[in-house]
Amino acid sequence: MGWDSKLILKDTINALRIISNSKNNCEINLKDISFATPFLITPITAYANSPHKIKYKILNPIDLDCSKYLNVIKFPHSIDTTSLNSMDYNTYLPLFKFSMQNTMYDQKILVVIDKMITSYGLEDNKNIINVFLGELIDNIREHSKSENNFICCQKYKKKLAISIVDRGITIQGSYENAGISFKNDIEALKFALKGKSTKKEFGDERGTGIPNTLNWVCDALKGNLLIVSRNSGVYRENTAKIEFFDLKKDILGFEGTIINIFFEIPNEKIDYLSYVNK
Amino acid sequence: MNTISLSKIAKVFSTRQTARQLFEKIIEDKIDALDFKDVEIVSRSFANELINLEKENDFELKKINMNKDVSFMFEYADKKVDSNMLKRTKHRTVSLNKLLA
């Protein structure tokens, strides 16, 4: 399978279908999978490591290469900071579990990201990656109330796939907790893209994390970004229209937030500061 | 002047929690200046949190040796910004099937 631009969408939705199917029998069926990406595996890992302590039986892929790959990226148990120093980041960051309840994790995640960036030949654009991943991780800490969060990355040729998943209260749940009402889940995602903060009492300068991440990933890096939270999602393929979609009709909703990012590693240094909302 | 060299802690500062932790240290150690030499980047959230803590506590830290990127983030963090992407970017709601087609 090639890494085409729709892969991010197809694999995320496939992950949601696998998760949805597992709800009836507590079986995560990966038998038919022949190619695994972080977009597919990270949401499933977050789901399998359920905060509700439900034990899922995992049916591994029949395809041996795919099955081996899942072992390599530490599916389904993932790794934590204790295994970090021995890891080789040349082409991938295995499923890495982090908890934001423990304050010492902040800098450790950043160290992992920094190692990854250096290994992937992204030195020239180090700051842009550090800044948007930092903002996304900060959002998990500030809003999701989630203890089980996962990040996984895979470099394939010149392309980079990043998936960050939390099992928190979702973007919609965060607005609800702040007493901000909306008519449906898509409207809540629109609030996030409009920069509407749940913490405006701390100042009007809040709410820039997701809009700026979209600018950096889609406009600056010409990449794709997909966010799924509860019963809706938003997708943008480089500078094309922003597309919102509903998951309810297909019963594919996710109890948490998935952020999947896909871009080609640029050859030149990008002036990322010029893409910041002003 | 009691200065803390931030690069001894990290080269990248991204989260609001990191800013809060740093501020605790600043108060505890009576620090009045931050040296950003060799700090590569800070996120806007980090910068915004630090500025807000300075305002809340009614004192201003001297910030020295900021590179262009760090300096930009602090300048930008204190401004009201128009983050409404939907005002500037075309958008629509589509069915999942259409999106996957």
Say if A46 falls within a structural domain. Answer: no
Question: What is the pLDDT tens value at each position of chain B, 101 positions in all?
Answer: 899 999 998 888 988 888 999 999 999 999 999 999 999 999 989 999 999 999 999 989 999 999 999 999 999 888 777 778 888 899 999 999 899 88
Nearest-neighbour CA in chain B from A27: distance (Å): 25
Question: Which pTM was predicted?
Answer: 0.93
State the complex-level ipTM: 0.89
For the stretch A43-97, pLDDT in tens is 999 999 877 777 889 999 999 999 999 999 999 989 887 776 666 667 888 898 8
Looking at the partner chain, which of A194, A203, A250 has a beta carbon nearest the beta carbon of B86? A194
Say if A45 falls within a structural domain. Answer: no
Q: Residue B100 and residue A6: Cβ atoms within 8 Å? A: yes
Residue A97 has phi, psi (to 5 degrees) of -95, 130
Residues of chain B contacting A13 with CB distance shorter than 8 Å: 96, 100
- Please count the structural domains in chain A: 1
Say if A92 falls within a structural domain. Answer: yes
Containing structural domain, residue A112: 85-275
CATH of the domain at A174: 3.30.565.10
Dihedral over alpha carbons B13, B18, B24, B28 (to 10 degrees): -50
- Using DSSP, state whether B34 is helix, strand or coil: strand
Beta strands in B2-100 (DSSP E): 3-5, 12-13, 33-35, 41-42, 62-64, 91-94
Q: Residue A246 and residue B96: Cβ atoms within 8 Å? A: yes
Whether A238 contacts chain B with CB within 8 A: no
Residue of B nearest to A133 (CA): B14
| Domain spans of chain B, in order of start | 3-81
Residue of A nearest to B14 (CA): A134
Say if A186 falls within a structural domain. Answer: yes
CA distance A143 to A63: 39
Say if A231 falls within a structural domain. Answer: yes
CA distance A191 to B84: 9
